[in-house]
Structure 1
């Protein structure tokens, strides 16, 4: 996660995919949204109705009438499965609202987070909306040493958040900051910005002679379970997810957040580099959703209004 953000109203208290459809961990999940017209104002001559926005979509999406979205639905309150298995969460509600403006239905594929990018670049879905942080490495397709490892992605930024340290309730290992993790074990979901952050901390801990051990898991619930069981001192995850775990208890334990929020950056809707037409249509739809006030209503529903952005930004983090 990078330290820069797109313009935001205020600040509030992440994630690559299946090479084949068989690797998708859940069946396709369909959520319908009817086409709607917006009478909201706004400058710049942006499209003002669902029919206008629909015309901006690539032909194959207009013909299918469906926008296919890859998401890891294990990350409440951002994206998860409600009772009965239906997709739910901030990203799901925003996607449905955007689909309505674009005049298409929204269809979710439930995919492990560390496989989302590959599935997107293989065109198994049209975009990824899964609490994925927009950062230079994901945009440029580079690793932490700036080596080119894939074709990279484009992002339309839509929400701002940071990373929090989650520990067992009562903070038995007295964690207050990253340096307190030296000499201990940390659990976290693989291929996230938190994994990169902790890898850097591993080097810092080595200089002190106190090894930081990292256990990477497929889901954040698995990481939280290790904290609850005393097998890890802490889990690092996105602040809304951390706060949800504290409020609701998850993975068989009770938790608390310690220390300051780290590395604030935007979530972005992710697109393959060649899908610029779809990306640009989504920019207009998101801007219209923001102007209409529906965007704020969705964030308020999940108690996440502090992460609101003022407008859609393409590749805004640095």
Structure 2
């Protein structure tokens, strides 16, 4: 009787070892250049809640901050130096060697892939925020014709609105007046003090501001132009790209990735 049960016990141990193997292999290969360094320099705009921003105590918080800390920990408990950089200056800063990685919400576009490598970590879309009650009746991009729209410099929404202005012009309609700001905070402020009829941003930031002041703002043009977003790494740093790719894979497997998105109420943007 005992000898008949032994193979089952052996099989159980074998299966347990098989399922345990991925966990033992989860540690990424730390890039050679970081082997003897205890610090990572991350560049980010840090002005787009809930992605990355300062709280009331001037502490950096948000999705990208939590993600950056998780990556640094898995690269050998490195400490992080956050280098706050205007969004339009992020890629130049990376290419100039001022940071190890761009930890921000970079929309994965072909023109960006030409100059940097990207590791995707979520989806995002664009939206247009308006005053509560939508007094100017802005429901589509066409409704922005002739109106002043605030946007962040270097953002995808600016590119999309510039392109839509050409559509409006061909249709014989006045183009929108796109006003560019160096920070998302300033662009949002323009809407808040009625210097702009609308504020174009990501759905995450639009949702954050609406949740903070539902009596003052609402989404006029709902989510559109869904696209992958990611972290930026220099093309001459393939070991870093490989390490971060492995870390994101491991975080999705162990649930820590999903926990970060859930913490900031953007579970719907998770990778498929």
TM superposition score category, shorter chain reference: 0.7 to 0.9
The answer on whether the counterparts of 2:129 and 2:221 sit within 8 Å (CA) in structure 1 is: no
Q: Does 1:110 align with 2:84?
A: yes
DSSP 3-state at the match of 1:108: strand
Q: Does 1:200 align with 2:163?
A: yes
2:104 pairs, out of 127, 130, 138, with 130
The answer on whether the counterparts of 2:26 and 2:250 sit within 8 Å (CA) in structure 1 is: no
Q: Does 1:181 align with 2:144?
A: yes
Aligned residues: 254
DSSP 3-state at the match of 1:191: coil
Q: Does 1:121 align with 2:85?
A: no
The answer on whether the counterparts of 1:42 and 1:291 sit within 8 Å (CA) in structure 2 is: no
Distance 1:218 1:276 in 2: 31
Q: Per-residue deviation at 1:254?
A: 2.3
Of structures 1 and 2, the one with the larger relative CO (CA 8 A, separation 6+) is: 1
Q: Which residue of 2 aligns with 1:233?
A: 197
Two-structure CA RMSD over aligned residues (Å): 2.2
Change (3 A) 1:222 1:300: same
Structure 1, unaligned stretches of length 5 or more? Answer: 1-38, 141-151, 311-318
Q: Which residue of 2 aligns with 1:86?
A: 59
Q: Which residue of 1 aligns with 2:124?
A: 161
Q: Which residue of 2 aligns with 1:298?
A: 260
2:184 pairs, out of 211, 214, 220, with 220
Distance 2:162 2:216 in 1: 26
Distance 1:228 1:192 in 2: 20
Q: Per-residue deviation at 1:107?
A: 2.4
Q: Per-residue deviation at 1:134?
A: 1.1
Q: Per-residue deviation at 1:47?
A: 6.9
Q: Per-residue deviation at 1:46?
A: 8.6
Q: Per-residue deviation at 1:266?
A: 1.3
Alignment of 1:27-38 (within 5 A): none
The answer on whether the counterparts of 1:206 and 1:212 sit within 8 Å (CA) in structure 2 is: no
What TM-score, normalized to structure 2?
0.87
Distance 2:30 2:154 in 1: 30
The answer on whether the counterparts of 1:164 and 1:257 sit within 8 Å (CA) in structure 2 is: yes
Structure 2, unaligned stretches of length 5 or more? Answer: 1-16
- Which structure: larger Rg? 2
Distance 1:77 1:270 in 2: 19
1:190 pairs, out of 153, 162, 172, with 153
Q: Which moved more, 1:115-124 or 1:228-237?
A: 228-237
What TM-score, normalized to structure 1?
0.75
Q: Which residue of 1 aligns with 2:40?
A: 67
